Every structure is written in structure tokens, then in C-alpha cells.
Amino acid sequence: MTVPYKRLNKDDAVVLLVDHQTGLISLVQDFTPNEFKNNVLALADCAKFFKLPTILTTSFETGPNGPLVPELKAMFPDAPYIARPGQINAWDNEDFVKAIKATGRKQIIIAGVVTDVCVAFPTLCALEEGFDVFVVTDASGTFNDVVQKAAWARMTAAGAQLMNWFSVACELQGDWRNDMEGLANLLSQRIPNYRNLMNSYSAFTAK
């Protein structure tokens, strides 16, 4: 079945950061720790750069899952923060769903830990309720590549779109002329090779 191209729209998108908790992150084995942290923070940078409503949630943070990683809490001090007392599927928490629907937005950009549970479960529920869901693959992590691919297959079969944080940034930007310097700076902070590209460009244009 051919699925029509649905383009991200910064005026209709909300970002959900689900269960990026200090304990759960230790389970992530499909990315290196440094790579994964960089990807998550890069997605958070995109949310701030494009001024997207962002909702944070954790699961049973008083237990072994641990609290939200401090960097995310610091980046979004005023964002809705839903500390779920026990629900594994964030969509089962009424406050979480209310916060999403209160934005009035129909495109969900989601990332979390672990991919096959904390991302997949609310993704499937949101799709069932008519939202367009964009799963940020490299800001979501799980036990291994086999589990990762199975989770991706389950979500795409239900209609989710898989993206990485870089493609999210570029699709939201749409046109370099919107703010080339701002986006280039964001990319340079998170992608070393892109920083090399910009340094080379700056040296060339300075001549």
C-alpha cells in the first residue's frame, strides 16, 4: 500500500519526549551512550529552534527507571511534565493525552526509551486516534538491533513515519533562506562533520 507523503509542519507539530530517564537509558544498546545522548539533545534543540510545543513524561520515576535526564528538564523548564505514577503506556495517562490535545496539533514527533514499549505503545494509540506520528529513530533506543527493527516494523505497519532528527530539522526548515545561519549553527553543534563543512565555508567566504 502506498502511503501519501505527509510533510512536517512546524505550525501543526508537537514533540513528545517519552521516558528519557537516567535508569532506562542504561538499557539502550543500539546506539553508543554518547551518540544517543547527542541525538536526544539534538532533537530537543530542534524543538526549541522551531518553537514547537514540547511535552515531557516519565514512568515510575521513583523506581529503578529513575528521573528524567537533567539536561531535558533544564532545556524545557516550562513545558508540561507528566510524571506517570505507573502506566507503562503513556497514552493510558489522562494528563498526558490532555496535554497533547490541548496544543490543538495533529502531528506528533515522538522519541523515547525504550523504542518497542515507551515509543511504540503511545505511537500506536495516537495513530488509532487520527494523529500523524513521526518517530525519531535515532533519539529512541532499545536493547539491540533486532528489537529496534521489530518495533519500527510494527509502527510503520500501523502508519507511523520513521525519521531521524536531522531529517526532522530539514523538513521543518523547508527553505534555507528561512534562517540559514540559525539552522546551520544548530547542525554544527551536533554533527562534527557539519561543523567542518561550515568552518570550510566560513574560511572560503572570508577571503
Q: Please indicate whether residue 118 is annotated as part of the active site.
A: yes
Q: Residue 57 and residue 184: Cα distance in Å, rounded?
A: 29
Q: Residue 200 and residue 8: Cα distance in Å, rounded?
A: 30
Contact 22, 66 (CB under 8 A): yes
Catalytic residue chosen out of the listed positions 46, 118, 125, 170 = 118
Query: Which residues are identified as catalytic?
Result: 118
